[in-house]
Amino acid sequence: MGRISAAVVEQGKGRSVFIRALLLGYLCTLGVRLAIIPDAWTPFAPIDLVIHEVGHPLFAFLGEWMHYAGGTILQHLVPIFVMVTLVKQGEYFGISFCGAWFSVNMYETARYIADTRSQLLPLVTLGTGDEPAEVKFTDWEYLLDHIPGLSIEYDTNVALAVRIFAFIAMWSSIGLGFWMLWIMYKVNRYPNETIAADEDDDIQ
């Protein structure tokens, strides 16, 4: 953790803690809302839907299983790609933001997994012109029946497990964000002081 702390200190010099605090405050609100209403709409939903639908044809050449799984795979890969890009640019707070985004994707995925048997949610597909693409199965109707040890009867159980993981990922990301903001606050508030003692504690 010492290296990470030192990196956060370096990238935090002269950067606005206030703006990141506002963003983190929103992520906290989002985290609480999703913990209470896991199926709640979020501002990430429109872009996640587009990414999901692009994932199907993007992975289709790898076979039928990947065609059905491709939407979910790409939907979860994009936040990771964005996080890596932000970290390479020295914006370590991007880990917190993208971790929360990844968690939102898991909540969205759990919503559709839980809908496998009931199929009450609207089905969105890519098509040509005015004709929607022909769909034999919903994504998770197919996937649950093609993952060893699972079937569509486990849809709500799998959805619950994904939501639990999403909750953990969300609040771990938020907690990391608070830690980063605290370090950034100290390095900007007390620029002449060192946090070597904190780094030593982290290493221990």
Q: Give CA 52 to chain center in angstroms.
A: 13
| Residue 195 pLDDT exceeds 90 | no
What confidence category does residue 193 fall into, taking pLDDT thresholds of 50, 70 and 90?
A: low
In the chain, the percentage of residues whose pLDDT exceeds 90 is: 64
pLDDT per residue as tens digits for the range 92-144:
899 999 999 999 999 999 999 999 998 888 776 655 445 444 556 789 999 99
At 130, phi and psi to the nearest 5? Answer: -90, 0
| Residue 83 pLDDT exceeds 50 | yes
Please give the model's pTM, rounded to 2 decimal places.
0.85
In the chain, the percentage of residues whose pLDDT exceeds 70 is: 79
Per-residue confidence (pLDDT) for residue 115, from 0 to 100: 93
Cα Rg of the chain, angstroms: 20
Adjacent-strand bridge partners of 128 = 131
Parse the chain into domains and list their residue ranges.
Answer: 2-127+137-199
